[in-house]
């Protein structure tokens, strides 16, 4: 496409990380080549900062991270918070009240920790039992003595997001329709049954543009790669948008290119094609 890429924005789960939550050798080699050429790699993830896995944090040259679907941008070297768009407790309580009758897991994320009831914690542990996600879940959750509502009434500081795991796609659709009537909130759709409620003036794309402007990098010099619905604003914001194989139809239609899946070195293939000017075969 003739664009000189200066920054690569990467979703983590289902994109840079394979199904074992690791970075493949070929992807690591491509990222090292980016670093050698002075091209920034920025994780843009739904995970909170504390949930970024160690293999990502150990990448040489890593400096910036966009976390919680854009709610927070941090300079990982200086520790400075560059952007923070969080939900106040009152708005969260309004969301929880409006969704009271929906069957789902409820979590509130603050400073990278997910707060939830014992019953909901048990449901999530059962969902991820035997998978690489279970250790991450166990290390980033705090079980409450009561409900999330009780927690927010007692401690009224803002939160990064509310996370809901519904029992079906249909329930999630009804939930989103119900909550859409509330002011000041937005949504991220990482997986079919999951819905994340975030501040209404932020998403992965808005946060990415904020960072690009701060670094004086034009949008056309950015390549973004993702696989979920929450990555759609990011792909639209970038000069080159790449969808992973198996992404939803809306993301694929918005992408400039569809690469291989996360277990087939899809990130490396895209970087070799658009940034590193190499066309290795899978």
Average pLDDT over residues 93-103: 96
pLDDT at 281: 43
pLDDT score recorded for residue 282: 45
Q: What is the pLDDT of residue 277?
A: 80
Short-list 261, 207, 53, 252, CA closest to 140: 53
Q: Which of 57-61, 68-72, 242-246 has the highest mean pLDDT?
A: 242-246
Please say if the pLDDT value at position 45 is more than 90: yes
pTM of the model: 0.86
Q: What is the pLDDT of residue 191?
A: 81
Residues 6+ apart with CB under 8 A from 250: 229, 232
Cα–Cα distance measured from residue 237 to residue 220, given in angstroms and rounded to the nearest whole number: 9
Separation between Cα atoms, residue 93 and residue 149, nearest integer Å: 6
Q: Is the pLDDT of residue 276 over 80?
A: yes
Of the pLDDT bands very low, low, confident and very high (cuts 50, 70, 90), residue 50 is confident
Overall residue count recorded for the chain in this entry = 282
Q: What is the rounded average pLDDT for all residues in the chain?
A: 94
pLDDT score at 278: 59
pLDDT tens digits for range 206-228: 999 999 999 999 999 999 999 99
pLDDT: which is higher, 158 or 279: 158
Nearest-10 crossing angle of helices 133-140, 118-127: 160
Return the beta strands (E) in 68-130 as ranges: 72-75, 81-84, 104-110, 113-116
The span from the CA of 252 to the CA of 63, in Å, is 29
State the pLDDT at residue 245.
98
Instruction: Round to whole Å and give the CA distance between 75 and 192.
Output: 31
More confident residue, 222 or 3: 222
Q: What is the pLDDT of residues 164-210, one digit of tens each?
A: 999 999 999 999 999 999 999 999 887 889 999 999 999 999 999 99
Q: How confident is the model at residue 1 (pLDDT cuts 50, 70, 90)?
A: very low
In angstroms, the CA 60 to CA 50 distance is 18
Q: Could you read off the pLDDT of 264-273 as tens digits, one per residue?
A: 999 999 999 9
**Alpha-carbon gap, residue 185 to 99, rounded angstroms:** 14
Q: Which residues of 92-130 are buried (b: 16+ CB within 10 A; e: fewer)?
A: bebbbeebeebebbbbbbbebbbbbbeebbeebeeeeee
User: What was the pLDDT predicted at 56?
Assistant: 96
């Amino acid at each position: 496409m003739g664009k000189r890429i200066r920054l690569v924005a990467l979703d983590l789960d289902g994109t840079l990380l394979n199904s074992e939550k690791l970075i493949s050798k070929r992807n690591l080699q491509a990222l090292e080549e980016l670093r050698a050429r002075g091209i920034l790699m920025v994780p843009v993830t739904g995970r909170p900062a504390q949930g970024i896995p160690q293999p990502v944090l150990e990448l040489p040259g890593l400096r910036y991270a966009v976390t919680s679907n854009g709610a927070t941008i941090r300079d990982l070297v200086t520790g400075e918070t560059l952007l923070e768009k969080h939900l106040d407790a009152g708005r969260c309580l309004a969301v929880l009240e409006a969704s009271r009758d929906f069957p789902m897991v409820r979590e509130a994320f603050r400073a990278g920790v997910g707060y939830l009831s014992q019953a909901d914690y048990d449901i999530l542990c059962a969902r991820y039992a035997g998978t690489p996600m279970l250790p991450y879940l166990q290390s980033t959750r705090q079980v409450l003595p009561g409900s999330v509502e009780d927690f927010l009434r007692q401690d009224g500081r803002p939160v990064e997001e509310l996370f809901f795991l519904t029992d079906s796609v249909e329930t999630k659709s009804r939930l989103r329709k119900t909550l859409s009537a509330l002011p000041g909130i937005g949504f991220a759709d990482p997986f079919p049954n999951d819905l994340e409620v975030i501040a209404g003036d932020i998403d992965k794309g808005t946060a990415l543009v904020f960072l690009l402007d701060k670094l004086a990098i034009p949008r056309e010099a950015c390549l973004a790669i993702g696989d979920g619905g929450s990555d759609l604003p990011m792909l639209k914001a970038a000069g080159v948008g790449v969808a992973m194989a198996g992404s939803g139809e809306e993301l694929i239609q918005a992408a400039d290119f569809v690469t291989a899946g996360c277990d087939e070195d899809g990130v490396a293939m895209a970087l070799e094609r658009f940034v590193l000017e190499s066309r290795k075969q899978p």
